[in-house]
Amino acid sequence: MFSGVIPAMVTPLNHKQQVNEAVIPALVDNLIAAGVDGLFILGTNGEFHLLSQDEKVNVTKKVVSEVNQRVPVIVGVGGNSTKEVIELSKEVESVGADALSVITPFFVIPDQDEMIDHYRSIAQNTNLPVMLYNIPSKTGVNLDKKVVTELAKVKNIVGIKDSSGDLENIKGYIEASKNEEFHVICGTDSLILDALEAGATGAVAATANVVPKIVNAIYENWKNGKINEASEQQNRLSELRESFQYGTLPSVLKKLVELSGAPVGPPRLPVKEVSSEVENKLKKIVASYK
């Protein structure tokens, strides 16, 4: 479940800022047809922090129904309140989620013991596998290796998605959990191959929304010992990945997906759509991958 290429799927919205569930089936089917190994929904690029609890449950229900057990569905349920995370975890479990992703608390920065208690409480209240999620640039806290060492001992805490952008941090998690059955997943698209070489088992990749076959090729070539070919595919992601700086997350990604043929709509306010100038740049990038 926590290996291979897993797109960090965007959440479709319409221009009334409502979740556009009608787009989800085609979005899911196109990604699965491209050969992905799972779907990661309601993460940072899925705008989890801007969606209501009811919207999250409904999106999960729709995705799970469309996937129909073809690949695992990992659902982001993280938040600042342990109680609210547990409540959401139970709801998405009841509608068929295969696993949970739990981002570190943000705004508040728990100390090491508080972080361990937070995650243990969540794990104890679900039957599903739990994946930790570290993204310090957005949360203001980097999950300590000592925390990972302790949490890797919890039966259903089975991995971590690291989006720190720091290969040494990924290596630290791999070392910290080496004595457990624990998966370290790369969440930074520019480091996929380096992370796999270091011992990561896969990638949750935003760029896989746009070019899933290229991201798959990184993993498949690496798995088959074709490192030069994997490196070539990794390099092909550079321009796409660098374009994310042209707007507030996930405005650029959603526009790239839309230009690729899936009408996923705008980001949720206060994040605005990219400018026409940026859109023209993105059109050229999308065209270069065809």
Catalytic residues: 133, 161
Q: Residue 263 gets which letter from DSSP?
A: -
**3-class DSSP state for residue 2?**
coil
Q: Which two tokens stand for residue 275?
A: 């400018």
Give me the residue label for tokens 């990794």: 234
Q: What does the alpha-carbon distance between residue 73 and residue 39 come to, in Å, rounded to a whole number?
A: 5
Q: What does the alpha-carbon distance between residue 200 and residue 54 come to, in Å, rounded to a whole number?
A: 34
Return the closest-CA partner of residue 17 out of 266, 270, 274: 266
Q: How many Å separate Cα 218 from the centre of its chain?
A: 17
What residues pair up with 222 in beta bridges, in sequence order?
none
Q: What is the dihedral of CA 61, 62, 68, 71, to 10 degrees?
A: -90
Q: What does the alpha-carbon distance between residue 286 and residue 29 come to, in Å, rounded to a whole number?
A: 20
**3-class DSSP state for residue 112?**
helix
